[in-house]
Amino acid sequence: MEILVNRSRLPRAMPILLAVDDGNRTFSPSDLQPATSSITQGEADILFLERTRIEATLGGCRGVLTVEKGSRFSGSPTTRIGNISVQGGEVILRDNKHFVEIREDVAIIRMEKQPNQQYFLALHSIVPAEAKDGDSFEISVEQRDEQGQTVGGSTAVYVVKSGLSSDYASSVA
């Protein structure tokens, strides 16, 4: 997996960390591996004896799922990222957690993962204390395929608003 992080519209002193270990704790991963014909039973298996509906969060999305009689769900092993290489940053360890510290305007992060494996990543930053009303901060992230083509991404823009009540400020923090 190749991730490009563009922090060129941020102040140089504003830290940007890509959390490598936090993503699958923040969102519930869903396993997109093809079903196999051989079913092995284990302690983590759930077998539905009747057709039922459940409310669940799968892949970070909350919804109602109808499960047919005889359906089985097996706990999958915790997904982990393999080797990481970085251009424009460095892999660091803080409080026993791995992060990619984004140091250049553009960083390219390559990570080994299993085919069809979803892996959620989280960006961490702190708006500078000297930020003024109306200041904006923009960061964009792209995911690329093996040919270097963009296959997904997101841009976030944060705008500083002063004069908010402390109740509002604490509810959006």
pLDDT of residue 14: 92
Domain residue extents for the chain: 2-23+79-172, 44-78
pLDDT in tens, 116-125: 777 788 889 9
Distance from CA of residue 96 to its chain's centroid? 18
For the whole model, what pTM was predicted? 0.64
pLDDT at residue 100, rounded to an integer? 93
Per-residue model confidence (pLDDT) at position 86: 95
List C-alpha distances in Å: 66 to 44, 56, 152.
20, 10, 29
> Does 34 have pLDDT greater than 80?
no
Two structure tokens written together for 139: 């960061």
Q: What is the pLDDT of residues 52-110, one digit of tens each?
A: 888 887 767 788 888 888 887 765 555 667 889 999 999 998 888 889 999 999 999 99
